[in-house]
Amino acid sequence: MLTGTTSSGRELHLVTAQFASSPRGARLARRLAVRRMEEWGHPPASDTSCTVALVVGELAANAVRHGRVPGRDFGLRLTLDTAAGLVRIEVSDAAAAKRPPAVPPSSCPDGESGRGLLLVDVLALRWGSTPRRPVGKTVWAEVPTDPAVASREGR
């Protein structure tokens, strides 16, 4: 875990970790996110911590289900920018060929899957993906630490 101040005076908290590309790894990533959010002043039952946990859980589950490459882990990076009031969540996997859609797909109301990116789209101010060098992709989402920010942004 890293905590520091940038040259512009912004306080940043950062944690990165690697997890096995498995359902257990996705659960551990979510638990780590909740633990760090608590250390950064957002208790587990807070709106911010719950939202971060949901987004991490969905992105990690997608990395395990759709981005798994045998023998490769997935990575989690959380950054809390206190001045901006944002938590940036990044989940990286080794599968370069499968990029998430630019907009969440519509899902069948009775279906058992297909709602992950819909949840991310509703909970995050912004989200997207970028290629990861040398291989893979990173799916990211930005979550406000103050629910009032989300309502001002029209969320």
- What is this structure's pTM? 0.83
pLDDT 10s digits, 58-70: 999 999 988 777 7
The residue with tokens 């809390």 is 80
Q: What is the CATH number of domain 2-152?
A: 3.30.565.10
* Cβ neighbours of residue 114 closer than 8 Å, sequence gap 6 or more: 105, 107, 108
CA–CA dist 84, 121 (Å, integer)? 20
H helix or E strand, kind and range, residue 23: helix 23-39
Residues paired with residue 77 on neighbouring β-strands, in sequence order: 16, 90
3-class state of residue 62 by DSSP: helix
Per-residue DSSP letter, 82: T
Highest mean pLDDT among 28-32, 100-104, 115-119: 28-32
Q: State the angle between helix axes of 23-39 and 47-66 in degrees (0 to 180), rounded to the nearest 10.
A: 160
List the domain boundaries for the chain: 2-152
pLDDT 10s digits, 112-146: 556 778 899 999 999 999 998 888 899 999 999 98
- So what's the pLDDT on residue 115? 72
